[in-house]
Every structure is written in structure tokens, then in C-alpha cells.
Amino acid sequence: MSINCAWLSKLTKPINLKLNKNGQAYGLTVLAPIKKGHADKLRNTLAKIPPVDVDSPLANIPLTHNARFNVIDDLPFIGAPALYDHLQNQYLLFSCVFDTGNSNASSVEADLDAYLQQMFAAMPEDITKIWGHCVDFPEPLTLPAFQDFVKKYQISGGLFFADYPDNSAEQVRRSLFEQKQFIHFAIKAQDIKGSEPAQLKADFYAFYKTLANTPTPPAGSII
């Protein structure tokens, strides 16, 4: 089984891994063919997985910026005089942006391996529940088999836009948290009338020290 649409296959092999990186961010795109007759069950499985917030299994993969699953039925007909272009399969799209900045990986491929390793550790049951509806899904599931499966159906990003090419998800979350805390501090400081610059400075240092010791809210939480 391989990706069978003419123009899509151009994006498949050989994969230009460099196209998948923007700064330290990696854009992973996987198009896995769905087993015949499984799309409705897969949609039902996906509908029951919490989409956002801390309950999403994807929030347990610390490197994730954002990720989504999408069932693709076919190409839309875009009107005459277009050629009819059909997919011979339904596909499960997995599109995800993750961090590579903190990894010690030596290559772009190793970056992907490291992410898939985290994913495998964080949500092994969900991986089977979801991708189990796809062709070639390895059974029994092992980490190397999962990595091979994803790479087999990975396509190149083409034009990869990353919201935060240079900052990790952890840094973004921390910054939003600190921004919010700082607004609280600024409001408090503004309400103290006639506060002396020296006092304000001391208050700020105290605030900063407390902030530095406050942990970042967990991944997936709305800050």
C-alpha cells in the first residue's frame, strides 16, 4: 500500500526532511490509509478523545505545540474543466508541530524518532485505538515498529508555517503565564498611590522572586 494520488505522491518520496523544519520546530504530516470500512469507527473514536485542554492525550507529550487528527474522504470536485482526481482510499491525516530544541538528536530524522518515542510512552493505548484503523498498523506494537509505520506514511511539509519557530511550547506557556502574572502585579502597583520608585523596585524584586519559584501550569491548560 502506498499513497496513490498522482499529485500527492510527489510529496511523499523521497521526503525532503529539511522542508519539515522551521527554526527548531518540526512539522510532522502523516497520511495513513484507512482500512476499508473503518472510517466511521475511526471518526467515532476520535470524537470521544478530548480535543483540547489537559485531558487531551496529546497534552502528555511535552514536546507538542499543536496536533490534530483529521479523516480525509476524498478530494473535492472543483468544477469543470478540472480533471477528476480521486483518492483510492480514505486517509487519516495527523498533522503536528513539535519542538526539537531540547533534544540531543543528531539529525532531522532523529528529532522525529525522539518525538515518536515520547508519544509512544505517553499514549500507547490511544495510538492503537486510532491508527489501528489504518492499513499496515503494526501488531504487536513496538516502538521501532511504530516509528517505521509513521515514517512510511509521512509526507513532506512543503510550506511549513510555525507560530513559534524559535520558542519551545514550554517557553510559550511560561511566557503567557508570566505575562498574566505581571499584569496582576502592574494593577496592584498602580493602585498603591504615591509609591516611591525604591519601594516599587523592591516590590518588583519580591514579585519576580515569587514568580521564578512558581511552576508553569501544565500543558493543555488555558492560561
Q: Which residues lie near another protein (CB under 8 A)?
A: 183, 186-187, 190-191
The per-residue DSSP string of 143-166 comes to HHHHHHHHHHTEE--SS---S-SS
User: In the numeric block, which cell numbers belong to residue 90?
Assistant: 480514505
Q: Which is nearer to another protein, 75 or 223 (CB)?
A: 223
Q: Which is nearer to another protein, 85 or 178 (CB)?
A: 178
Q: Which is nearer to another protein, 49 or 172 (CB)?
A: 172
Measured from the CB of residue 179, what is the shortest distance to another protein in angstroms? 8
User: In the numeric block, which cell numbers belong to residue 40?
Assistant: 466511521
The contacts of residue 182 (CB under 8 Å, 6+ apart) are: 211
The contacts of residue 175 (CB under 8 Å, 6+ apart) are: 167
Measured from the CB of residue 163, what is the shortest distance to another protein in angstroms? 13
Measured from the CB of residue 187, what is the shortest distance to another protein in angstroms? 5
CA distance 143 to 109: 15
Q: Could you give the dihedral angle defined by the CA atoms of residues 205, 206, 208 and 209, in that order, rounded to the nearest 10 degrees? A: 110
Q: Which is nearer to another protein, 6 or 78 (CB)?
A: 78
Measured from the CB of residue 36, what is the shortest distance to another protein in angstroms? 35
CA distance 94 to 30: 5
CA distance 39 to 93: 12
Q: Which is nearer to another protein, 8 or 223 (CB)?
A: 223
Q: Which is nearer to another protein, 104 or 190 (CB)?
A: 190
Measured from the CB of residue 117, what is the shortest distance to another protein in angstroms? 35
Measured from the CB of residue 193, what is the shortest distance to another protein in angstroms? 8
Backbone angles phi, psi at 222, to 5 degrees: -85, 120
